[in-house]
Structure 1
Amino acid sequence: MIFHPGIIAVLLGSMVVLSMLLYGSLISIRILRQWDINSSSELQLELERKTYLTSTIISYVLVYQMVSTLLFVYTVDSLHTQFIGAMCATGVLNVNPSGWYVLYLKVTNMFLSAIWVGLNWADQRYPDYPLTKPKSALLLLMFPLFAAETYLEFSYFLGLNPAVITSCCGSLFSASGKGLAATLSGVPVRVSETMLALSSIVFFILGIVNIKRPVPFVRYLFSLSGIIFFFAALISVVSFISLYFYELPTHHCPFDILQSDFHYVGYPLYVSLFLSTVTSILVGIYQAVKHRFSDPAPIEGFIKGSTLLSLLTALCFLVIGLWPVVFSSFTLEGY
């Protein structure tokens, strides 16, 4: 293991998050078995007090979990000077086989965390806590994923060996290579540009319709279009957007844009994409649980607010990502 402040912070944070989720899961089991909002028993009053306090604490813990994903990526990227062959986070993730699995789990848990926080935020705006059981069930499903993430995170960092010679983005994100990264790198520029353009147009049209005219079916379509936009955006980052930042026609790495040489532009790029996607997903989820709320007016406001935030953050992603495409003198014509 390499002793690094970032590594220690990430591991300690993961242990705190997992401990709180364990405590929350134990309470969730009691809620799923004994919760009855119509009861005035001592047990119900105890559950209500514990639920409100625990849910509030877990919300803050899960917000930290989302931030810790960025901290993990930043820490991994900062370690590239410790390994021969590594030039960015890609090379450091390749040092230990657990690295990529940790990243995938962190991204998955980041989305689940945001969804849970969104559900809890809506739930606590109503006196009868209509989403208490659904969010408790979701917390139970999240716990094993967070446990797996923490285990793999320790396995990854403890297994880092500076003597290992690693391969980096030049070989992984190459059209001539193998695997998913090579496949994404090999997507023709015109194809990825078309995918991004079409998914963006559909996404914004559905979002505007959703704000102007509340139709349940359109809300579900908007959530689906947000997910499609997310994958189209990721493909575009690897296929052509990153090339314009690097001004190199063969460098497809999605991690180098997180470095100081490129003014850390990758962080606002990916954060805006994440916020756009998760808020679009929440629109569909809010619509699905709308029947549980005694007063539909507040939840309607949540849905419209989530839609607007999703559109604005998607616009931020497009502006940041396409700025060099539009204004740079670099061109990919002929590639």
Structure 2
Amino acid sequence: MSVFLSNAVIAFLLAEFVLLVLMSISLFYVVRIVRSWDYNALTSLQYSLEKQNYLVNTILLFCVCIKIVLFIFFALCLNELSDIVPGAMCSAGVIGSNKFGGILMLTKILLIFGLGIWLVINKLDLQALNFPYLKKKYAIFICLFVMILLELCIEISFFYNIPLKVPVFCCSVTFQAPKLPFGYTNFGLVSVFYVLFFVILVLNFLKQSMTSFVANLLFLVLSYYAITYFFGLYVYEQPNHKCPYCMLKGDYFYVGYLIWGSLFLGVFYGLMPYLVEIITKTNYS
């Protein structure tokens, strides 16, 4: 038996491949637009490029939105695979079943943030009259396209190397040993969590984008530990159940999607102002 026979895996990889084809078609026009774009030119070529620009934007907007939805579907796919992977009780066992799992998850998270930044830059570019960020947003897209191509290769390697005969370690083993950073206790971890959260609110109010950027990066890492080793215990109602993935299952009413989704969304809005200011060379508020 192979995981490639799973309906969820087939549907997921097929959707990823279709999006890659659409993005590849868009890439062809993106290169042409970037090479020949001159907003001040009154030529038939420029007129044609502007029409192609709107078409490409529509395709990319669709692809980016679907890509974000596929991130959620990937989590559901892992939950389904946990039923056939020996020793796996949740996504933690599937992700940790081979060396590609952690790399794939990190790549997907980075892509989600990168695609979000592209959406913001694209919106700012379309709102302006002269498309001031057109070349920059397409340069970002080209980088994201390379990452998406790499992601698909890692996905195939990950699914191919999932063992179906050898038992894997799951959350009961992986997250059982204390792994809090800097020797924190749970009390210290939660205290720093709330202090940093308050600091971020103050920095956002004062519009200190660069400092807020650094604070949000720290908050993202700290929140992972806080949710896994403290807040998650109240979700599971068990003092020894430490796992960032089990809360994504139906047994806990899929509350993990709300918890992790709100965390990623909040951190994204905290990181965004500084990144947008770097890209656009303007103040963003």
Cα RMSD of the aligned pairs, angstroms, is: 2.2
Shift of 1:16: 1.9
Aligned to 1:126: 128
Unaligned 5+ runs, structure 1:
177-181, 211-217, 293-299, 305-335
Paired residue secondary structure (2:217): helix
Aligned to 2:99: 97
Tell me how far apart the structure 2 counterparts of residues 69 and 184 of structure 1 sit (CA, whole Å).
27
1:75 correspondence with 2:80: no
Tell me how far apart the structure 2 counterparts of residues 113 and 268 of structure 1 sit (CA, whole Å).
20
Paired residue secondary structure (1:83): coil
Aligned to 1:196: 193
Aligned to 1:230: 220
Q: Is the 8 A contact 2:136 2:279 kept in 1?
A: no
Deviates more, 1:59-68 or 1:239-248: 239-248
Tell me how far apart the structure 2 counterparts of residues 224 and 39 of structure 1 sit (CA, whole Å).
42
Aligned to 2:206: 209
Shift of 1:185: 11
Aligned to 2:13: 11
Tell me how far apart the structure 1 counterparts of residues 180 and 45 of structure 2 sit (CA, whole Å).
56
Tell me how far apart the structure 1 counterparts of residues 119 and 225 of structure 2 sit (CA, whole Å).
28
Are residues 76 and 291 of structure 1, via their aligned partners in 2, closer, same or farther at CA, if it must alter by over 3 Å?
closer
Tell me how far apart the structure 2 counterparts of residues 31 and 284 of structure 1 sit (CA, whole Å).
27
Tell me how far apart the structure 1 counterparts of residues 162 and 224 of structure 2 sit (CA, whole Å).
28
Q: Is the 8 A contact 1:184 1:238 kept in 2?
A: no
Tell me how far apart the structure 2 counterparts of residues 93 and 104 of structure 1 sit (CA, whole Å).
11
For residues 16-35 of structure 1, the C-alpha deviation after alignment (integer angstroms, 9 at most, x for no partner) is: 22222223333333333222
Q: Is the 8 A contact 1:84 1:165 kept in 2?
A: yes
Paired residue secondary structure (2:141): helix
Letter in 2 for 1:113: L
| Number of corresponding residues | 283
Aligned to 2:140: 138
Q: Is the 8 A contact 1:94 1:167 kept in 2?
A: yes
1:255 correspondence with 2:251: no
Q: Is the 8 A contact 2:133 2:280 kept in 1?
A: no
For residues 135-188 of structure 1, the C-alpha deviation after alignment (integer angstroms, 9 at most, x for no partner) is: 111111112211111011122223334222111011111326xxxxx4569742
Q: Is the 8 A contact 1:258 1:267 kept in 2?
A: yes
Shift of 1:83: 2.0
Q: Is the 8 A contact 1:203 1:225 kept in 2?
A: yes
Q: Is the 8 A contact 1:245 1:262 kept in 2?
A: yes
Tell me how far apart the structure 2 counterparts of residues 254 and 53 of structure 1 sit (CA, whole Å).
40
For residues 57-83 of structure 1, the C-alpha deviation after alignment (integer angstroms, 9 at most, x for no partner) is: 111111111111111011101221212
Alignment of 1:1-335 (within 5 A): 1-2=2-3, 3-175=5-177, 182-183=179-180, 187-210=184-207, 218-290=208-280, 303-304=284-285
Are residues 162 and 186 of structure 1, via their aligned partners in 2, closer, same or farther at CA, if it must alter by over 3 Å?
farther
| TM-score (norm: length of structure 1) | 0.78
Tell me how far apart the structure 1 counterparts of residues 133 and 51 of structure 2 sit (CA, whole Å).
15
Tell me how far apart the structure 2 counterparts of residues 148 and 185 of structure 1 sit (CA, whole Å).
33
Tell me how far apart the structure 2 counterparts of residues 83 and 112 of structure 1 sit (CA, whole Å).
32
For residues 179-212 of structure 1, the C-alpha deviation after alignment (integer angstroms, 9 at most, x for no partner) is: xxx45697421221122112101111122233xx
Shift of 1:5: 2.5
For residues 26-55 of structure 1, the C-alpha deviation after alignment (integer angstroms, 9 at most, x for no partner) is: 333333322211112222222211112111
Q: Is the 8 A contact 1:31 1:136 kept in 2?
A: no
| TM-score (norm: length of structure 2) | 0.91
Shift of 1:128: 0.9
Q: Is the 8 A contact 1:62 1:113 kept in 2?
A: yes
Letter in 1 for 2:210: Y
Tell me how far apart the structure 1 counterparts of residues 44 and 180 of structure 2 sit (CA, whole Å).
59
